[in-house]
Structure 1
Amino acid sequence: MPKILVIDDDPSFNMMLTTFLKRNEFEVESAHSAESGIDHLKNHQVDLVLTDYKLPDQDGISVIKKVKDDYPGTPVILMTHYADIRTAVKSIQIGAFEFVTKPVNPDELLLLVKRALKEKKDPVEEVVPSGKSKKSRKKGDLDYISGESKYAKKVYEHASLVGPTDMSVLILGESGTGKEFAAKLIYEKSNRQGKPFIAVDCGALSDELAASELFGHVKGSFTGALQDKTGQFEYANGGTLFLDEVGNLSYEVQVKLLRALQEQKIRKIGSNADIEVDVRIIAATNDNLKKKAEEGSFRLDLYHRLNEFSIQLYPLRHRGNDLFIFADHFLNEANDELGKDIEGFTADTVEVFKNYPWPGNLRELKNVIKRAVLLCQDNKITPEQLPEEIKSGVSPVITEQTLPSNNGSIESSEETNPKDLKQLQETSEKETIEKVLKETHYNKSLAAKILNIDRKTLYNKIKRYEIDA
């Protein structure tokens, strides 16, 4: 019987959660402070830790660090009322299995607990694409599936070549093409494997917080700096720092980043002392970063420093039968997560998938399949379980696609009728976003779900179309 430790200082919630988990056939112990929870871990075997973020003596981040340092095989799920993105990102970066917010949905938490325990028990799983032989893979390695197209093989070959070096790598591709998974693949091919891998979403950081998040700050250095903060460069010391959507960083932060890369030193905001760091940088963007550098909105010297080696990820619509390798993989994932046993897709569904351009790429495909698995009452997914825009083949417009030219540079692809069609499509997209934002009372998370895009993409489109949100 799996053993779970619940750390929460709210007696009522602690008792309720403990009772619920025991009722679902788990052996549960509880603690009401970080110190008592850590003491329990010293004397008892525990398979999973559920910890609150706000504890009377320390915070949940400290608990995660302690568990990861002393009991690295034990998954930790963080629970909190404080659902800000920085806490969520930080908890995952330092090793939390997942982050959930209170009030906790019991069924969702139970599903999460079972998944965490399953991944602890089965670090290697098998993926069986339709009509293909079995391929074993490590958890956390090939969440990024290389596929079998010439594009996929090229990405895998380049990742294998550059991985063992300390060269900075720039990963290029549309949103949702798997840039973070490609970065992890490079990391796992590197000599830094086993050292920290820290991912930072630069698109989710405000200009004011980006420097603090990357380099840290000292207490009192600005309004709200109530205590010293360790930056992500320090957390990644000795390992790899992945900067997603690096093109969103402000000019001031770009200057600090360039210095960090050139000198392997950082300086916290408000400090006079330099800190030496040994960090390998992998950056990613869906912007035409070279064009931005030439136009002056991104530092050209930083672009060249990041672009010691570049890898292009191709959109799903250009990857042929790789689509169905990914589809089978996401189907298996959804079956495991939702406790179902859907066998595959009907012929009609396969045709729908072929005819749809998948502007959201892997992320969109994963979301569509998970939704379909949830709705499916038969043994195969039919078009009835798919969203209307998938069945109709109508999708949000893909603009400013970046594809490599013959000389390997990045250039924008041209629309077939830029004077009329493109303008009409962009106008329609802007109007749709404005309508959904208004209907959701400008709740951007909910709007992003309805639009079937991630929140970062929504923010980028709001900025691009100058929407008053």
Structure 2
Amino acid sequence: MKHILLVEDDLSYSRIIKTFLEKNGFHVFATDQIKEALLIAKREEIDLIITDFRLPDGTGLELMSQYKALNSITPTILITNYADIRIAVKAMKMGAFEYITKPINPDELLLTVKDALKSPKPTEDSSNTNSIHALDYIIGKSQDAIQLENHIQLVAPTDLNVLILGETGTGKEYISRRIHQLSYRSQQSFVAVDCGTLSKDLAGSELFGHLKGAFTGASETKAGHFEAAQGGTIFLDEIGNLDYESQIKLLRALEEKKIRKIGSTQEIDIDVRILAATNENLLQQVQEGKFREDLYYRLNEFSITALPLKNRKGDLMLFAEQFLAESSQKLNKELEGFLEEVINQFLQYSWPGNLRELRNVIRRASLLENGSFISLASLPVEISQNVSNEPSELTVKEQREVDEKSKIKETLIATQYNKTKTAELLGIDRKTLYNKMKKYSL
């Protein structure tokens, strides 16, 4: 019997999920706090974690980060509200197996749980490559897509370092793999590293390796990502999250083509092409002293921008059709396409989660649909009813409240819902923050 750890602070919701999963043959440990979840994880053998994003003592992302230190191969499913799609996509970047949105459909939950449990556990080597499942690279037919492909074709045969810009979920890693596949290094390794998951203490070890005994916990000599990519390509995703000390080491590796393992005096020659990506404004970080200017220009020998899905409406249905084909095959259904009103809603929706959100929406709709074509009834209400996030004409007071709510929400997300830090950044006390969170239902 598989053991599932459920972390959900809505007790009635937790009880429903626990009962449903146990009826389907799983043993479920349920808690509502990160601290207790970690204690259970240390005590029991856990096969799968299902966690809500918002928890009383932190967030689901914090739980994922802390649990990874205990066991990096246990799959995680994140439960989130539809308004938190960007957070869900970030969770995928951190290694979550999948995310599902509230209200939860039981069939969708069961399918996702079974998929997570039967998926191959990542080994240390496979985690280094961060292989992407689903969605082969689609060039697209729009003018912007053709220009993007032209830039890829132009830079791929060279050895220029490339900086790929764009929102989370826009396919920056797919672009980097496309560049690698079209380069003379294509028969060598492609190693993808998410810098957002590298802690300040371990970033140097992960990137450049370490010798046995170099620091507490270094029980054996380890090769870093750069050694693993020797002769090939290394993709540094979310490069803006790299700590300053690691930036210095990375700059040296770029300039001298040499690395040094932590605890070693011997230098290792490297032949690696670097592709980096970010969804942040690196130039602004340079101006604020958070990112080295010399490193920025070394990485940005050529830049490519991945467009958000809302700006690729001419290509949107190409992606949708491929996702539908994948879902139909996986669910053993014969789905032929989308009704016209569904296509219209797809084209009007803003897709804040980009390709990842589109894939999940189609996967869920494919599961729920009883006919041969995807209908509006199978879509989340935010899409089927085209819920607009465009502000209407407001009074000065109403606009002020909208701005205040937005600022509080942005700060909460930035601090991963740390109330103390949020209050400090906003210049208010915790009591005032709690009152405003209650007022705005945050």
TM-score range (shorter-chain normalised) is: 0.5 to 0.7
Secondary structure of 2:274's counterpart equals strand
- Distance in structure 1 (CA, Å) of the matches to 2:388 and 2:195: 27
Match of 2:256 in 1: 263
Q: Structure 2 counterpart of 1:295, which letter?
A: E
> Which residue of structure 1 lines up, in the alignment, with residue 168 of structure 2?
175
Secondary structure (helix, strand or coil) at the match of 2:355 reads helix
Q: State the shift of 1:431 in Å.
A: 5.0
CA contact (8 A) 1:142 1:181 kept: no
Could you tell me how far 1:430 is from its partner in structure 2? Answer: 5.1
Q: Does 1:427 align with 2:415?
A: no
Query: Secondary structure in 1 aligned to 2:201?
Result: helix
Q: C-alpha distance in 1, partners of 2:215/2:151?
A: 43
CA contact (8 A) 1:219 1:225 kept: yes
- Determine the C-alpha separation between the residues in 2 that align with 1:388 and 1:216: 48
Question: How far off is 1:81 after superposition?
Answer: 12
CA distance in 1 between counterparts of 2:341 and 2:334 reads: 20
Identity level (%): 48
2:115 aligns to what? 108
Instruction: Indicate how the Cα distance of structure 1 residues 141 and 354 shifts in structure 2: closer, same or farther if over 3 A, else same.
Output: closer
Alpha-carbon separation, structure 1, partners of 2:415 and 2:294: 25
Counterpart of 1:332 in structure 2 is: 325
Query: Equivalent of 1:202, from 195, 208, 211?
Result: 195
1:367 aligns with 2:374: no
Q: How far is 1:235 from its partner?
A: 0.2
Task: Please state how far the C-alpha of 1:383 moved relative to its aligned partner.
Answer: 1.6
| Residues in 2 aligned to 1:199 and 1:107: alpha-carbon distance in whole angstroms | 27
Matched positions, count: 315
Aligned to 2:72: 84
Partner Cα distance (1:299, 1:245) in 2: 15
Task: Please say if 1:250 is aligned against 2:250.
Answer: no
Asked if the contact 1:247/1:287 (under 8 Å) is kept, the reply is: yes
Q: CA deviation at 1:274?
A: 0.8
Q: Which amino acid aligns with 1:373?
A: S
Q: For structure 1, list consecutive stretches of 5 or more residues without a partner in the other structure.
A: 1-11, 14-79, 89-97, 114-138, 398-415, 435-457
Determine the structure 2 residue equivalent to 1:309: 302
In 1, the alpha carbon distance for the partners of 2:154 and 2:395 equals 40
Match of 1:148 in 2: 141
Instruction: Give CA deviations for 1:355-402 in whole Å, capped at 9, x if unaligned.
Output: 2101111111111111111111211111221122223434789xxxxx
- Displacement of 1:140: 8.3
Match of 2:334 in 1: 341
Contact 1:214/1:232, CA 8 A, preserved across alignment: yes
Aligned to 2:24: none
Higher relative contact order (CA 8 A, sep 6+): 2
CA distances 1:211-264 after superposition (whole Å, capped 9, x unpaired): 111111112222211111110000000000000000000000000000011111
Of the structure 1 ranges 307-316 and 343-352, higher mean CA displacement relative to structure 2 is found in 343-352
Q: TM-score, normalized by length of structure 2?
A: 0.63
Structure 2 residue matching 1:181: 3-state secondary structure: helix
Over residues 258-308 of structure 1, what are the superposed CA-to-partner deviations in whole Å (9 max), with x where a residue is unaligned? 001111111111111111110000000000111211221110000000000
- Pick from 233, 248, 267: which aligns with 2:226? 233
Match in the other structure for 1:73: none
Query: Residue in 1 aligned with 2:347?
Result: 354
- Between the aligned partners of 1:335 and 1:178, the Cα distance in structure 2 is 22
Q: Secondary structure at the match of 1:157?
A: helix
Paired amino acid for 1:108: D
Give 1:259's aligned amino acid: R
Q: Which amino acid is the alignment partner of residue 300 of structure 2?
A: N
Q: 1:142 to 1:418 in 2, by over 3 A?
A: farther
- Check whether the contact 2:134–2:326 (CA below 8 A) recurs between aligned residues: no
Question: Residue in 1 aligned with 2:433?
Answer: none
